[in-house]
Amino acid sequence: MSDNAPRQCILVIDDDPAQLMLLGHILYPLYDVKMAKSGEAGLELAEKHNIDLILLDLVMQGMSGFEVLAQLKESDETKHIPVIFITGSDSNEDEAKGLALGAVDYIRKPFTEVVVSLRVKIHLQLIAQMRTIENLSLTDGLTGINNRRSFDQMIKSTWSYSKRANESFSVLMLDIDKFKQFNDKHGHLNGDTCLKTVAHTIRKSLERGSDEVYRWGGEEFAVVLPYTRLDGAMLIAERIRENIAATPIHVGEGTVFITVSIGVGSVAPTHMYTDEAFLNFCMGLDKALYRAKENGRNRVEKV
């Protein structure tokens, strides 16, 4: 890991102060460590922080480790965090129950520093490898931005937390104007340059870290704007449209300029995500984008 890379974060949940102190002594030099003295406190920390791995005591006052793990797996924010049980039990039934609930490993007491360090290191390496694979599968190979699969995942989570927070979110659907003519005239390699330039320009036009751009497919792009109402989304769409129109596309020894048409929609979810609800929302976006094309291109239309 690079010296400048953020430390991986480990949450330790144990009601024994001596155990917390010992695990802190082992883990603090290499990782960002959060400590919780109860299951309830651990669940709260897991929701608030970006946790990479949880070490969870099996037997605690109040909530047991099994109960904590079950609640972790019920939450969209925490269900993917790997959990290692710490236990003094050698019961095969306990181990089977923990693995069935979703625990990835057991560390048995009394443990040694070497065993804890190696088990934690192995699981964090596996997590890093899985995230690398996942990132590759969620990234468009040509433009380097998020792909359609990534969009499908993000829209579901955005829909869910917008419903919980009683907030609106918005989506922009963009299409490069006369892209087929551009390809026919300048060739597909320059067409690829055009797509990469548009993707880069959209990304630069987004000022909030929560806003994301996706390659929807072909010459179409989508932008997801959490906590954004329609009026704010229209302003962002106009900024993107203007920036793209002003950005030169380098073609051989010369430059050309292209434009985009944009459809804008906003929704304040009142029910949980369904494919049908999102399809209806997308149909409105498509109609707005079609109107932008019909009304002369290089313009923004709202649902």
- The answer for residues whose C-beta is within 8 angstroms of residue 187's C-beta and 6 or more apart is none
Of 252, 248, 273, the closest CA to residue 159 belongs to 273
CA torsion, points 134, 137, 143, 149, in degrees to nearest 10?
-100
CA distance 243 to 29: 46
Q: Which listed residue (219, 220, 238, 294) is catalytic?
A: 219
Give, to the nearest 10 degrees, the angle between helix 179-186 and helix 188-205: 130
207 is catalytic: no
Q: Within 10 Å of residue 65's Cβ, how many Cβ atoms? A: 24
**From edge to edge, which strands make up the β-sheet containing 9-13?**
32-36, 9-13, 53-57, 83-87, 105-108
131: amino acid identity, one letter: R
**Which two three-digit tokens encode residue 177?**
């104007």
Alpha helix (H) residue ranges in the chain? 17-27, 39-48, 65-74, 92-101, 113-137, 148-165, 179-186, 188-205, 230-245, 275-294
DSSP 159-192: HHHHHHHT--EEEEEEEETTHHHHHHHH-HHHHH
The one-character DSSP state at 37 is S
Catalytic sites, residue numbers: 219
